[in-house]
Amino acid sequence: MTHTADLGSRLQDAHPSLPVVLVGEARLPTTSGTFRALAYRQADGVEYLALVTGDLGDGHDVLVRLHSECLTGDVLGSLRCDCGPQLHAALEAITAEGRGVVLYLRGQEGRGIGLAEKIAAYALQEQGRDTVEANVDLGLPVDARDYTGAVAVLRDLGVRDVELMTHNPVKVRALEAHGVPVLRRRDLPVAQTVDNLRYLRTKRDRMGHELPGVD
């Protein structure tokens, strides 16, 4: 773990061209394992939390999850999505691996449209629209996420190439477009429920997600 004196030096000197700044680092014990928690911030205030386990060494073949913030799923245990189970499965995976990074992406609620807009989209889904149609009806992007800051955090951590835990091919393409090769993609368990089955099918059929086992 980085000591406080070393942290001050990194804040001033490390990677001055990156669009993120390391704000703090601390030990974080959780029910999924104990991690190094590194907090980053962009100039516009968007924050990222990197949960790191083990020694990343030369930065090659690092097990990584880019996890978009989902208050309803991650915190409240919503059954309308599979976000919470994916987050915990990813944390447990890097703990079992003994080496890896789960990068929590703040400001990406509802694929980047925000919490209030996500609830508005839910209301339209209850009237029969799917998750893609609801966003379009509200005049919002289907997916507004940007991964530039996430890549900057990975670079600051010394990550060179990854095994990516995702069902979303867009995340694979985003990393590779920013110069982070994805050596392999690893599936996460799919937490299918009565309430999220249509959502999962829409992600598979309309957004190209790889979702093995979805009925």
- 81 among annotated binding-site residues: yes
Cα–Cα dist 62/72, whole Å = 29
- 110 among annotated binding-site residues: yes
- 108 among annotated binding-site residues: no
Cα–Cα dist 199/107, whole Å = 21
- 86 among annotated binding-site residues: yes
- 166 among annotated binding-site residues: yes
**Annotated active-site positions, please?**
143, 145
- Distance from CA of residue 175 to its chain's centroid? 12
Q: Which of 23, 32, 49 is nearest to 101 (CA)?
A: 49
What is the chain's percent helix, strand, coil content, to nearest 5? 40, 25, 40
- 167 among annotated binding-site residues: no
- 68 among annotated binding-site residues: yes
- 111 among annotated binding-site residues: yes
Cα–Cα dist 205/38, whole Å = 36
The annotated binding site is made up of 65-70, 81, 83, 86, 109-111, 131, 166, 171
The annotated binding site for GTP is made up of 65-69, 86, 109-111, 131, 166, 171
The annotated binding site for Zn(2+) is made up of 70, 81, 83
